[in-house]
């Protein structure tokens, strides 16, 4: 046993935080985050596995990547072993952190479900510790990214942080009083599946009107394709970019055109930003964070996305004008946040003995 895992983390706060009793408890003095040591962070996605050696200040010293080997759990484990062996050459590695999309049990040992891989109640930590002979931490990829932003990025100094990742869908995570907050059953943070438009677009989760159907990269691409198929004169640049094939339009293409000045693409991103701000206002009413950090691929749109979100947030915030309001900032660590956070969480957890 390597001590408390992602739901029971602590770390250096800029302001003192209350240390709350949790099912697995420890004293703040047990943590030695200043101790030097290297950890490997691994971010497992649907198409690639990214890994890096990370030091105690969150710096990546070396990196390696592999293609995700289909959905076979044993093949994925073998790729992880290969990456750790490669990155361990020339480095003394303390621990390994694994971040992957999916639901983990509260003990941090089992993947209950992963949308990208055939992990169903998979005892991944036990398997990898046997293969790697090192402490292994298993965590959700959004939790890992949120932890990295809190420790080293845009969320430094904020006691109550909510991180939103905008990509194909919407992911989310919370760092509250120095801990990754995972909920009673370990599956908190599925913010993209709050129903924001009853009876709206069908979502892959099975419901209709989920937030991610209106404020994600997929939503941006869908709306752009609809506009292009309408033969609207404002969509001519969109159609030209894909040689007249609307089905080829993606959120990334729309973002690129918007940054280049295309008016229709900017309007489409503004609409997504307004939906984003509305959802953030709902989360603020429920969670009352001090800061929202927005990450993911869609954030390459920058202020074209964030400024409409801030305006919609202010317009829809419960008690607006009579309460403090959370800030909304872009993430600072980019696509490496997941592996940085997984590595750092593994370093912290492996130093805390139960």
Whether 352 shows a pLDDT value over 50: the answer reads no
**Poorest-pLDDT segment among 254-263, 274-283, 319-328, 344-353:** 344-353
Residue 57 CB neighbours (<10 A): 9
Residues 80-109: pLDDT tens digits? 999 999 999 989 999 999 998 888 888 888
What was the pLDDT predicted at 350? 61
d(CA 175, CA 158): 9
Please provide the distance, in angstroms rounded to a whole number, between the alpha carbons at the two ends of the chain: 7
- Please report where in the chains the tokens 């040992």 appear, as a residue: 109
pTM score, whole prediction: 0.84
SS3 content of the chain, % helix, strand, coil (to 5): 40, 20, 40
Residues 181-209: pLDDT tens digits? 999 888 899 999 999 999 999 998 899 99
Closest Cα partner for 19 from 160, 162, 177, 183? 177
- Phi/psi for 53 (5° steps) reads -85, 125
Which CA distances in Å does 236 have to 34, 228, 240, 247?
A: 56, 8, 6, 14
Averaged pLDDT score across all residues of the chain: 87
Residues 139-191: pLDDT tens digits? 999 999 999 999 999 999 999 999 999 988 898 999 999 999 999 888 899 99
């Amino acid at each position: 046993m390597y001590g408390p895992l992602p739901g029971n983390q602590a770390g250096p706060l800029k302001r003192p935080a209350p240390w709350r009793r949790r099912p697995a408890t420890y004293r703040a003095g047990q943590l030695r985050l200043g101790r030097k040591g290297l950890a490997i962070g691994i971010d497992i996605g649907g198409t690639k596995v990214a890994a890096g050696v990370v030091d105690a200040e969150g710096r990546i010293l070396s990196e390696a990547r592999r293609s995700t080997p289909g959905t076979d759990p044993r093949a994925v484990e073998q790729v992880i072993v290969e990456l750790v062996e490669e990155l361990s050459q020339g480095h003394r590695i303390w621990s390994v952190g694994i971040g992957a999309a999916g639901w983990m049990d509260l003990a941090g040992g089992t993947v209950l479900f992963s949308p990208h891989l055939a992990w169903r109640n998979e005892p991944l930590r036990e398997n990898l510790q046997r293969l790697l002979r090192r402490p292994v931490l298993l965590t959700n990829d959004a939790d890992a990214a949120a932890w990295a932003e809190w420790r080293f990025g845009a969320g430094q100094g904020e006691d109550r942080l909510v991180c939103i990742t905008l990509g194909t869908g919407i992911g989310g995570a919370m760092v509250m009083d120095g801990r990754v907050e995972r909920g009673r059953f370990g599956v908190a943070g599925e913010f993209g599946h709050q129903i924001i438009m009853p009876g709206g677009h069908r979502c892959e989760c099975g419901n209709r009107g989920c937030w991610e159907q209106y404020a994600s990269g997929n939503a941006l691409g869908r709306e752009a394709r609809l506009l292009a198929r309408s033969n609207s004169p404002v969509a001519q640049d969109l159609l030209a970019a894909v040689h007249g094939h609307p089905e080829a339009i993606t959120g990334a293409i729309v973002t690129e055109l918007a940054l280049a000045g295309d008016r229709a693409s900017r309007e489409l991103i503004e609409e997504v930003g307004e939906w984003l701000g509305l959802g953030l206002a709902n989360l603020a009413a429920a969670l009352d964070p001090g800061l929202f950090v927005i990450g993911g691929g869609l954030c390459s749109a920058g202020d074209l996305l964030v400024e409409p979100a801030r305006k919609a947030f202010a317009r829809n915030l419960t008690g607006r004008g009579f309460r403090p309001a959370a800030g909304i900032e872009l993430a600072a660590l980019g696509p490496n946040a997941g592996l940085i956070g997984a590595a750092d969480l593994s370093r912290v957890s492996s130093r805390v003995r139960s």
